[in-house]
Structure 1
Amino acid sequence: MEEKENVCIRVPKIYDWINRHVHLSIIGFSLCENPPAGDDQYNVAIGDLCELFHHREGIDCFLSDSYGEPISLEELSDMITIRRHSTVAVTLPNGETVHLEKVSATVTGFITLEIEDDCGCVLSSNPTPFTTTQRLLLCAPHGTRIIPVISSFQCDPVVICDHAIQQIQIDLDFCLDVTSEATVRIELEANECAPRKDTKPVPLCKEYIPQCSCLLLHENTN
């Protein structure tokens, strides 16, 4: 029977976790063509949007920085601003009262549009900023840290073109995960660790060439 011992380890503990679907609608008007380096970009007037899109095959959008360069969800998550506020008492459905902390998460970024016609010519927009502040109630005792993560993101541009309104509406949807975490010490029973036998790798080459032992034996007797 293997001997066991009590060990103490440090692990991150999640005290609370909120997963929220966030929807935003922003308006983008300004479009510019991708020019060679050094050339000035030009803007398309709002009244010309319908004429512009009349000859375009598709429109797409992506998450970018303020210069129009694509960024990852990890980079967007790193830019989220967290603010901790007062603690409030909340009554749970079972009648129990708990104290939760008011937390606000401000997400700020940019969206860039890309439009391609049937000739392969690409137009890109000036980066369009967006921002939203989400307020949450978290179990976040003293000593915990609030960690926000954007786990998924998608954008959907829609061209609105009629006599009264000519604009590009960009619908944004993303998943905001916010956890309150702290590093804690826990004690648990575990087996003692012992070294194992070394595992030898399988040789790639044979150590010697197979020989005809009967022939060699016959030659040696002559």
Structure 2
Amino acid sequence: MERKLVQGQQTSPEYLPLPSLECIQVPKIFDWIVKVTQIVDESTIDPAACLPLPSSFSVSVELTSVQAVEKPGSVRENVVVTIGGTTLTLQRVVIRKTGTYLVTITDTSVVPNVVHCTYTKSFVRFEKVLLCAPPGTDVDVTVIPSGTTIEVLDVVDNTLVNVDINICQSIQVTAIVKLMVEAELCQPRADIPIPENPCVVTFPHQCPAIFPGHPYPFAT
């Protein structure tokens, strides 16, 4: 059998067979999209913490948590679509998005400005997306923080705060499959020893000229 040298070995050379067919088990991606979802949410100003409001104030918001998953217990409905002249059967998948955000009202009638009150609001939204998600596949949704934002739209009658939330999400459909691939078997690399400091025994400096002196007691 033809053999070849494994490059990069730090020990004595070893030889392995050429690539052969191997059966491996890996997650296969059936579909993948990146989707931005816009949510307009309304929160009632907390009367116990915030009322009455200052004569002059500003409102800011901050997302504290966002999650997105396929709705538990939902049924994937088949939908027939035509793409590029080809008829395909895809699945309508329901995604549930939940999260919380912090509302901060700042009193701007005094200098320096001070925080008047804060309160937390939760939200839940559902959306449907078309995916290649046949039975036996999993839908994994990952929220991308860098593309997820929130901002105040307006304050209505000093009672309601409307916010605009944009959620950037990566949606993948995966399943564990077995694949036949051409590959080479791997070998562990050579061990790299940890440098050790030498163990040396030393003695204090001696003064042989004065001690034990001359002649030595054992001199003949």
TM-score, normalised to structure 1, is 0.68
Query: Which residue is equivalent to 2:76?
Result: 85
CA distance in 1, matches of 2:175, 2:124: 28
By how many angstroms is 1:209 displaced?
Answer: 7.4
Aligned pairs for 1:136-155 within 5 A: 136-152=129-145, 153-155=148-150
Q: Give the SS at the match of 1:142.
A: coil
The one-character-per-residue Cα deviations of 1:179-199 (angstroms, maximum 9, x if unpaired) are: 211001112122233344321
CA distance in 2, matches of 1:107, 1:53: 36
The one-character-per-residue Cα deviations of 1:138-171 (angstroms, maximum 9, x if unpaired) are: 111221112222223221124446xxx4442211
CA distance in 1, matches of 2:55, 2:75: 45
Query: Which residue is equivalent to 1:21?
Result: 36
The one-character-per-residue Cα deviations of 1:12-44 (angstroms, maximum 9, x if unpaired) are: 111011221111222223236xxxxxxxx4452
Q: Is 1:113 the counterpart of 2:103 in the alignment?
A: yes
Change (3 A) 1:168 1:53: farther
Letter in 1 for 2:172: T
* Contact residue 139 and residue 172 of structure 2 kept, 8 A: yes
Query: Which residue is equivalent to 1:217?
Result: none
Which of these residues, 133, 140, 149, is aligned with residue 126 of structure 2?
133
Q: Give the SS at the match of 2:68.
A: helix
Q: Give the SS at the match of 1:62.
A: strand
What is the root-mean-square deviation in Å for CA atoms of aligned residues? 2.9
CA distance in 1, matches of 2:49, 2:116: 14
- What percentage of residue pairs aligned between the two structures are identical? 22
The one-character-per-residue Cα deviations of 1:67-112 (angstroms, maximum 9, x if unpaired) are: xxx44x4xx236x62533321211112x111110111112133322
CA distance in 2, matches of 1:209, 1:124: 68
Change (3 A) 1:110 1:184: same
Q: Give the SS at the match of 2:75.
A: strand
CA distance in 1, matches of 2:88, 2:115: 59
Q: Which protein has the bigger helix share?
A: 1
Letter in 2 for 1:91: T
How many residues are treated as equivalent by the alignment?
A: 181
Query: Which residue is equivalent to 1:201?
Result: 194
Query: Which residue is equivalent to 1:62?
Result: 62
Query: Which residue is equivalent to 1:157?
Result: 152
Letter in 2 for 1:123: C
By how many angstroms is 1:120 displaced?
Answer: 4.0
Query: Which residue is equivalent to 2:23?
Result: 8
* Contact residue 81 and residue 88 of structure 2 kept, 8 A: yes
Query: Which residue is equivalent to 1:97?
Result: 87
Change (3 A) 1:91 1:60: same
* Contact residue 104 and residue 115 of structure 2 kept, 8 A: no
Structure 2, unpaired ranges of 5+:
5-15, 203-220
Q: Is 1:190 the counterpart of 2:205 in the alignment?
A: no
Query: Which residue is equivalent to 1:216?
Result: none
